[in-house]
A and B are shown apart, each in its own frame.
Chain A
Amino acid sequence: MSWRRFFRRSSWDRDRAEELRSYLDIETDENIARGMSPDAARRAAHLKLGNTVRIREEIHRMNTIGPLETFGRDLRLALRGMRRRPGFTLAVVLTLALGIGANTAIFGVVDGVLIKPLPYPNAGELVSIKHAAPGFSVPDLPMSAAQYFTYREEGRAFQHLGMYGDGGTTITGIGEPEQARLLGVTYDVLQALGVRPQLGRLFTEADAKPGKGRFPPVVILTDAYWKRRFGGDPAVIGRRLIADSDPVEVIGVMPRGFRFLDMQPPAEVIALLAFDRSRLAIGGFGFSSLARLKPGMTVADANADIARMLPMWLSAWPTPPNSPGRHEYEKWKITPAVQPLKDEVVGGVADMLWILMATIGMVLLIACANVANLMLVRSESRRQEFAVRTALGARRGDIVREVLVESLALSLIGGALGVALAYAGLAMVVATAPASLPRVEDISLDPRAVAFALVVSLVSSMLFGALPALKQAAQHGTPLAGGARGASTSRERQRTRNALVVVQVALALVLLVGSGLMLRTSVALMRVQPGFTPGDVVQTARVWVPPPQVPDPERVTRLQQEILDKVAALPGVTAAAFASAVPMEGPLRVWTQPVYVDGQRDTPGTTPPLRRMKTVSPGYFSAIGTRMIAGRDITWSDVYGHAKVVLVSENFARELWGSPAAALGQRVRDSAPASGEGWREIVGVVQDVHEDALFQAAPAFVYWPTMMENFGGTKLFTMRAVNLVIRSNTAGGESLLNGVRSAVSSVNSSMPVFLVRTMKDLYDQSMARTSFALVMLGIAAAMALALGVIGIYGVIAYLVTQRSREIGIRLALGAAPTQLKRMFVRQGLVLTACGAGVGLVTAVAVTQWMSSLLFGVERLDPPTYAAVLGVLVMAAAMASYVPARRAAAIDPVETLKSE
């Protein structure tokens, strides 16, 4: 028997029929020739041949593939049954499509972000190298160049090991000066990633000689930058550009689609980091690092290897005079913290995504419970039919198989529809995803997601199809008679349905609690006083004064003030100032250093705690909307007169002196008191600012003037890269930006303006993770509640139909309709109470996984739980009231007659 024959059966059958007809014709001809009448001749021929239908059937059967044949028949039956009950089919298919679609969409996200390997060859071998330093107050200690050399030269676990850092550079020599997004890498980073350039070559060790400029004079372009600035011209290799006034040569172009980890916004120009080995010191922890492990090496091997090399590093490199000594580093207790590179890229979103996946999985479970209930009701209503068929010889297996095939068909249709929904849903998720969601580019509805949908469909069909099928099998032997009166068996089945509803209510409660907690979190976040004006009336943009063009520090500050004056004169601008960073710009602008406090006794040889700091221009706080708590702001005459003044945050003042007022007149400095001049007097205290994120505590801050004598080891310090802060009701508009650009270029024509944002953008970005989780959990909880309500409604409605005879009798005997109504509503509420009980226990256990998402609310927040219970009970009462009212409206005469 072969498949080919199986599918060609009908044409074969026609062939056979014709052949048999030809036999009859020939035989009839011969019979007539023997002298029979035509009629008799044909009859005799038929007799000779036998039953043609039976012959054809026998041949047909030879070409049959048994199980497939019966499956096809069951499927046809199932589809016919579905067509006959469009309401039932629609309910089931839509419920499943929603459940499967939501799951497939979230799987698409989880797969793209968490599961798929990074887009590099053998990405499993890639690791990031970090250190933990529990004795030092920074969570992750980055790498120093000295460590890089030690690890590269002494390491045994790595094929390639490199360091990288990002920043900006001004590219000139091709039209307009432009700030390009720069990625700085040691020569081995791109080799470690295993990518090949599409043009030219990668960096080699020979390139890595420190030159006169900031970098060795070679750069590689990314595909997007090459296409944008050079129109994809292959002759770009060998072209000379000016990067920060250093001449550089383009040696390569990276392939299309190359992305460096999750660098946002993506790099445009890749420069080479090179170090003069003879002038390196032990410290300077400012680089990220990645490596490719040798085949067969594990993360644990890498950690052991680094642990072996740390003492080598500690003893091999010089400690410059003005830095912590060797013994100081020992106190930091530096230990290796190597992790897969993917973990580094994915970062903190893994938690949130798994929570989402679990959430949506619960919705699917609820959907399955609902469908199982529907299927139970449906198979019950077919009990009579099944009984008849059993009596006519159908085997138990036949009926069970039929029920299973029906559920399979339903779930596959639901799954197909679900994939379509997922496609739309995924587009929505990608559009609303927080900017901090890494690897958004890797999210797509690919064959894996579709395969996932298929598996989910099959599993869910088992989940909701198996139950009625088993019930059906168990009921084999139901007598033909009896029908609706079989009260004892139906009570047992009612129990199954009740259990399903309890599960639904429980899961819905868990999801409602989850979304309730997220709602409280976002309300709490919105109540947080950020310490600045988060609205879109504050515009910020970054400008940078390159040292080669303006070498004199004081000139830099004058130039910056000139820009401020021009910007302040623009229409609509009420204030303009600048600072080294604005709040919520991200970890790149975090600046920490030890701060020495006058009067604090320092143990010799130790450094005081690290403090967050930034430099500010006069008027920065009023421009960004931070209140002065005590004292005064700095002034331009302070700045140019090199007055020894400084500002601190309120919490800094309270920590050291108890109150803001007490801080005034106190002195702090950035370098050890032994090194001469440097004390600066606190002249003002400002409101605390949530610099990092709303859900993180406001750090204690020191605000230095933008220009100072004897700071940071330099004679005259000035901050060259600053964020302009412009308060204007036209913030975010093109006209203001054009005004700012022309103000900047009128002062110096080769200074670019970049990172243009409003404070609202930065604020929203900080809220994005919470908003995303809130929306997703909210949708899931709404779906769960709706499905749960439908479940309760279904069960009560079914009870009412089943007991209509009893109700009729009760009414006939004088029961009050309200009493009957109450009876059914009570039944619904009892189910809800059971479900709520189970759900509460589950929620208490489950919410601990989402504590990382919560802010300003306990995970066992009583108001949330109370509100959720209230909503659930109300919904359940309504869901059972509707069918209960129908019960009360039953006409006893009609019901009793119909039985």
Chain B
Amino acid sequence: MPKRESPMQSEMLQGTLDMLVLRTLVIGPAHGHTIAHTIERGSEAVLQIEHGSLYPALHRLENRGWIVSFWGTSDNNRKAKYYRLTPTGRKQLAAQTTRWEEIVRAIGRILNPSTE
């Protein structure tokens, strides 16, 4: 039986990636390729994700009911699977964003106590 990878780190990164994917979809439905490039460009290439790792994340989000998928065609007329945010997903994104900001602020306070 394969062992589940469960270090905290991987879970944290997973959560982060999920959040980024959800954020990308706020603007509107998009397919995997667009999502990957949007995240990469949006982070000014700081977050160099392996595009493949995006797909398990998409699958997971879909399983949780935060996004739904449908088949469509890309800008250059290739068949592509599009993802759209569900209302639950939207709520989830809001909650995760709030939590993320809290964590960032907290970490910021520890690293830079003088600024506040």
Chain A residues in the interface with B (C-beta under 8 A): 1, 5, 15-16, 18-20, 22-23, 25-27, 29, 48-52, 54-55, 58-59, 61-62, 66, 69-70
The answer to whether B51 touches A23 (Cβ under 8 A) is: yes
What is the minimal beta-carbon distance from B114 to any residue of chain A, in angstroms? Answer: 42
Partner of A55, one of B33, B52, B80: B52
The answer to whether B52 touches A26 (Cβ under 8 A) is: no
Contacts of B23 in A (CB 8 A): none
The answer to whether A55 touches B53 (Cβ under 8 A) is: yes
A-B contact list, 5 entries, CB within 8 Å: A19-B32, A20-B52, A50-B53, A55-B55, A55-B56
Q: A19-B81, A22-B79 are in contact. List 12 more A-B contacts (CB 8 A).
A: A18-B79, A20-B55, A23-B31, A23-B32, A23-B51, A26-B74, A29-B76, A50-B50, A54-B52, A58-B56, A69-B1, A70-B1
Closest to A1 in B: B63
What is the minimal beta-carbon distance from A41 to any residue of chain B, in angstroms? Answer: 13
Q: Mark B80-114, 1 if CB is under 8 A from A, else 0.
A: 11000000000000000000000000000000000
Bound complex: CA A781 to CA B1 (Å) = 47
Contacts of A48 in B (CB 8 A): 50-51
Any A CB within 8 A of the CB of B7: no
Any A CB within 8 A of the CB of B41: no
What is the minimal beta-carbon distance from A899 to any residue of chain B, in angstroms? Answer: 40
What is the minimal beta-carbon distance from B51 to any residue of chain A, in angstroms? Answer: 5
Contacts of B36 in A (CB 8 A): 23
CB-CB contacts below 8 Å: B23-66 with A = 31-33, 36, 50-53, 55-56, 59-60, 63
The answer to whether A26 touches B56 (Cβ under 8 A) is: no
Q: Residues of B within 8 Å of A, CB-based: how many? A: 21
Bound complex: CA A61 to CA B2 (Å) = 9
The answer to whether B74 touches A62 (Cβ under 8 A) is: no
Bound complex: CA A66 to CA B3 (Å) = 10
What is the minimal beta-carbon distance from B31 to any residue of chain A, in angstroms? Answer: 7
Bound complex: CA A16 to CA B36 (Å) = 16
Bound complex: CA A104 to CA B50 (Å) = 61
Bound complex: CA A22 to CA B58 (Å) = 15
Contacts of A22 in B (CB 8 A): 31-33, 74, 78-81
Contacts of B52 in A (CB 8 A): 20, 49-52, 54-55
Most B CB within 10 A of own CB, among A5, A51, A54, A55: A55
Instruction: Say yes or no: A59-B55 contact (C-beta < 8 A), given A5-B63, A70-B1.
Output: yes
The answer to whether A62 touches B60 (Cβ under 8 A) is: yes
Bound complex: CA A25 to CA B36 (Å) = 14
The answer to whether B78 touches A25 (Cβ under 8 A) is: yes
The answer to whether B33 touches A23 (Cβ under 8 A) is: yes
Contacts of B31 in A (CB 8 A): 22-23, 26
What is the minimal beta-carbon distance from B57 to any residue of chain A, in angstroms? Answer: 10
Instruction: Say yes or no: A16-B33 contact (C-beta < 8 A), given A26-B74, A26-B76.
Output: no
The answer to whether B55 touches A62 (Cβ under 8 A) is: no
Most B CB within 10 A of own CB, among A16, A23, A61: A23
Contacts of B78 in A (CB 8 A): 22, 25-26, 29
Chain B residues in the interface with A (C-beta under 8 A): 1-2, 31-33, 36, 50-53, 55-56, 59-60, 63, 74, 76, 78-81
What is the minimal beta-carbon distance from B9 to any residue of chain A, in angstroms? Answer: 17
Contacts of A1 in B (CB 8 A): 63
Instruction: Say yes or no: A62-B56 contact (C-beta < 8 A), given A19-B81, A48-B51.
Output: yes
Bound complex: CA A3 to CA B97 (Å) = 32
Closest to A12 in B: B59
Contacts of A15 in B (CB 8 A): 81
Contacts of B33 in A (CB 8 A): 22-23, 26-27
What is the minimal beta-carbon distance from A135 to any residue of chain B, in angstroms? Answer: 76
The 9 closest A-B pairs by CB, nearest first: A50-B52, A26-B33, A50-B50, A19-B81, A55-B52, A49-B52, A58-B56, A22-B80, A59-B59
Bound complex: CA A539 to CA B100 (Å) = 102
Contacts of A62 in B (CB 8 A): 56, 59-60, 63
Instruction: Say yes or no: A50-B51 contact (C-beta < 8 A), given A26-B33, A27-B33, A62-B56.
Output: yes
What is the minimal beta-carbon distance from A73 to any residue of chain B, in angstroms? Answer: 10
What is the minimal beta-carbon distance from A258 to any residue of chain B, in angstroms? Answer: 58
Bound complex: CA A20 to CA B52 (Å) = 8
Contacts of A18 in B (CB 8 A): 79, 81
Bound complex: CA A15 to CA B83 (Å) = 14
What is the minimal beta-carbon distance from A74 to any residue of chain B, in angstroms? Answer: 12
Contacts of B51 in A (CB 8 A): 23, 27, 48-50
Contacts of A70 in B (CB 8 A): 1
Contacts of A52 in B (CB 8 A): 52
The answer to whether A26 touches B80 (Cβ under 8 A) is: yes
Bound complex: CA A23 to CA B54 (Å) = 11
What is the minimal beta-carbon distance from A357 to any residue of chain B, in angstroms? Answer: 42
What is the minimal beta-carbon distance from B39 to any residue of chain A, in angstroms? Answer: 13
Contacts of B53 in A (CB 8 A): 50, 55
What is the minimal beta-carbon distance from A290 to any residue of chain B, in angstroms? Answer: 62
Bound complex: CA A16 to CA B55 (Å) = 8
Bound complex: CA A27 to CA B76 (Å) = 11
Closest to B55 in A: A55
Bound complex: CA A19 to CA B80 (Å) = 6
Contacts of A66 in B (CB 8 A): 1
Bound complex: CA A99 to CA B55 (Å) = 54
What is the minimal beta-carbon distance from A759 to any residue of chain B, in angstroms? Answer: 74
Most B CB within 10 A of own CB, among A18, A22, A66: A22
Contacts of B63 in A (CB 8 A): 1, 5, 62
What is the minimal beta-carbon distance from B40 to any residue of chain A, in angstroms? Answer: 10
What is the minimal beta-carbon distance from A389 to any residue of chain B, in angstroms? Answer: 15
Contacts of B81 in A (CB 8 A): 15, 18-19, 22
Bound complex: CA A18 to CA B31 (Å) = 13
Closest to A48 in B: B51
Bound complex: CA A1 to CA B55 (Å) = 17
Closest to A5 in B: B63
Contacts of B74 in A (CB 8 A): 22, 26
Bound complex: CA A19 to CA B63 (Å) = 16
Most A CB within 10 A of own CB, among B1, B2, B32, B59: B59
What is the minimal beta-carbon distance from A708 to any residue of chain B, in angstroms? Answer: 93
Bound complex: CA A58 to CA B14 (Å) = 13
Bound complex: CA A29 to CA B76 (Å) = 8
Most B CB within 10 A of own CB, among A19, A27, A59: A19
Bound complex: CA A471 to CA B1 (Å) = 23
Bound complex: CA A23 to CA B52 (Å) = 9
What is the minimal beta-carbon distance from A70 to any residue of chain B, in angstroms? Answer: 6
Contacts of A59 in B (CB 8 A): 55-56, 59
What is the minimal beta-carbon distance from A83 to any residue of chain B, in angstroms? Answer: 25
What is the minimal beta-carbon distance from B67 to any residue of chain A, in angstroms? Answer: 13
What is the minimal beta-carbon distance from B20 to any residue of chain A, in angstroms? Answer: 17
